[in-house]
Structure 1
Amino acid sequence: MSGVYHWGSLAVQERVGVRGAAEHVGRSIGTGIRDVAAAFLELQPHLVVGAADGAGRMWASLLTGPPGFVRATGPHRIAVAGGVPAGDPLAEALATDGTRIGTIALDPRTRRRMRLNGTLGATSRGFAVEAEQVFANCPKYLQQRQPLELVAEGAGVVRRGDALTLGQVRAVRRADTFFVATTAEADGVDASHRGGLPGFVEVLSPVELAWPDYAGNAMFLTLGNLTADPRAGLLFPDWESGAVLQLSGRARTEFAADGGRRTRFRVESVVEAVHPGRLLWGTPEYSPHLGSTTR
């Protein structure tokens, strides 16, 4: 089963001592979109996508639309209507055939999530993705929320920079959820989720963040990608206002002698935006797993 993992993930699995568990979990990674996965996608009002821009910087972006804007159009293909708003760092990449892309659909209502990675093909109404990896993840560390209101208007990109402002620092420190896009070049792009209690992401400076790596499914796809390629893109959604904070930079994993791990991220570019067609969500019910997290 090691064929589903590249050398970076294998190296982390070996170092942590979870190769056996990873072999078992790896059997869930396929290329086909099952009926239950197709039904799940059609219910989702948003999709997180990860890719590299024209300069090679990694970004994670948020796409929104009425349920059905993401749907399976075949056993190995999804179609996404529309795209990212003007000014988004991935606007050009998501209109380019052959872009390697990672996606994650996460439903805060049910604490379910699904990841689909593959190759993009541009269409007249959006884009399609030919699936190379399709799999679900357990609900660990997902906060439960209910949608409150759909807001049609938006202001577009609010601010660009190369370091966090004071307001952005506060947003990161109160975050309980963010998404991370990583790559391993020829082995494609992956988009994943990180969750924790507010404050689990440390702001070490306006250009450096750190967060703990909690015990997960033993795949180590994100940490494996970072072993092979340090580029990463982060997306922090503001569930109450619908704003998004996107960071692009480089990351590395620190392994402690007691077995703990954390990731350090160096900010290189920042985009803050308020998108039209965004959902506002209610107060979170934190994951019960967060009471037993280890660093």
Structure 2
Amino acid sequence: MAAYHQGETAVQRRAGLADQAEFSLGGIGDTIPGIAAAFLAEQPMIVLGGADSAGRIWATQLTGRPGFLRADTPRVLTIATLPAPHDPLADLLSGAATAGAPFPLGMIAMEPATRRRMRLNGRAVRDGDGLRVELDQVIANCPKYIQKRDHRFADADDGTDGDDGPGGPAVTDGTALDEAQQRAVRAADTFFIATASDRGDTDASHRGGNPGFVEVLSPTLLRWPDYTGNAMFLTLGNLALNPAAGIVLPLWRSGSSLHLSGTARTLWDPEETARVPGAQRLVEFSVEAVREVTAASPLRWSAPAYSRFNPPVR
């Protein structure tokens, strides 16, 4: 039976939502229903979270033509691709960092056009040119705060293949956000966050809001509101036990990706929280490592239709 770990239950109690969390527990299973298998088979993208060889948590995205995600059995997900060498989780997902041993992997598949999403957590191994994931958790999520977008695959012959030059995608590493990266964060309406429990079990989740919902307090400090959700607190529960976290910010129109790794903490100050519309709590993220990859994805996305659930931004 599904159960919450001690970090999740501690946050649920502190938020005063333990009863709602118990009800939401019914949304956590360990198998992929048939309708969810069909959903996965239609997706061109999945977001993954894991730890690199140095133990830092990163989030990233893998893409492919529909069908690259396949539920071979209700307990096994096959991902028929591996990341490019410039991806911050390339060593982990290629098996190089684990010598073939299973490793924890958090995943979220999201379809912006229909505002549907599902999370899958488990243990992965390299399987030829892809990954095979034995699932521990399959989690239904609500459509709140998802911005509606349509996608297409860029065609290298039509001049829409992004910012990569003759040498391929450009990679920029750093330990703080430069001015252009700060502008990208302030303009963002969506990002994905990866966290892990004290046992290393990894989760990947979505955060969305109107542009400006993520504040850049400094080149190494971000803050965003934690809005009303399903009361599971899988992300904040992990952070209560292990502050390591990673973020991927898709730059939807260009296909570039901004990856951040660092630590995060939940702020429970009611006065500070009250200053942010819609916030139930605040989360601060301390940036320790930055990797920006131009044209990391072949997907190009339309302008967003913002969710009606997004609170206003002050």
| 1:44 alignment counterpart | 43
8 A contact 2:254–2:295 mirrored in 1 = no
Deviations 1:215-261 (A, max 9, x none): 10000000000000000000000111111000000000000236731
Q: Return the match for 2:252 from 229, 239, 244.
A: 239
90-99 or 152-161, which moves further after superposition? 152-161
CA distance in 2, matches of 1:76, 1:225: 23
CA distance in structure 1 between the aligned counterparts of 2:187 and 2:81, rounded to whole angstroms: 31
1:114: which partner in 2? 118
Residue of structure 2 in register with 1:146 after alignment? 150
Runs of 4+ off more than 4 Å: 151-154
Q: What is the identity, as a one-letter code, of the residue corresponding to 1:283?
A: A
TM-superposed deviation, 1:75: 1.1
* Structure 2 counterpart of 1:85, one-letter code: A
Contact 1:151–1:280 under 8 Å retained in 2 = no
Aligned equivalent of 2:98 = none
CA distance in 2, matches of 1:89, 1:277: 14
Q: Which residue of structure 1 aligns with residue 224 of structure 2?
A: 211
Contact 1:12 1:223 in 2 (8 A): yes
Query: What is the CA-CA distance between 1:158 and the residue it aligns to?
Result: 2.2
Aligned to 2:234: 221
Shift of 1:149: 4.4
Q: Which moved more, 1:277-286 or 1:195-204?
A: 277-286
Q: Which amino acid aligns with 1:264?
A: E
Q: Which residue of 1 aligns with 2:133?
A: 129
Structure 2 gap ranges (5+): 96-100, 274-279
Shift in Å, 1:278: 1.4
Q: Structure 1, residues 138-179: CA drift from partner, whole Å, max 9, x if none?
A: 000000011244245553342001000111001000000000
More moved, 180-189 vs 281-290: 180-189
- Tell me the amino acid that sits aligned with residue 218 of structure 1: A
In 1, Cα distance between the equivalents of 2:69 and 2:138?
15
5 Å matches for 1:270-281?
270-275=290-295, 278-281=298-301
Partner of 1:282: 302
For 1:33, give the aligned amino acid.
I
Query: Measured at CA, do residues 292 and 172 of structure 1 come closer, stay the same or move farther in structure 2, by a change above 3 Å?
Result: closer
Secondary structure of the corresponding residue to residue 121 of structure 1: strand
Q: Is the 8 A contact 1:85 1:156 kept in 2?
A: no
Letter in 2 for 1:176: D
TM superposition score normalised by structure 1: 0.95
The answer to whether the Cα contact below 8 Å between 2:210 and 2:312 also exists between their aligned partners in 1 is no
* Aligned AA (2:131): F
AA in 2 matched with 1:92: D
Alignment RMSD (CA, Å): 1.7
1:292: how far off?
A: 7.1
2:183 maps to 170
Matched to 2:45, the amino acid is H
**For 2:74 and 2:153, how far apart are their aligned partners in 1?**
33
Please say if 1:91 is aligned against 2:90: yes
CA offsets 1:179-234 (integer angstroms, 9 cap, x no match): 00000032610000000000100000001100000010000000000000000000
Alpha-carbon distance between aligned partners in 2 of 1:94 and 1:51, rounded to the nearest angstrom: 9
Report the TM-score when normalising by structure 2.
Answer: 0.90
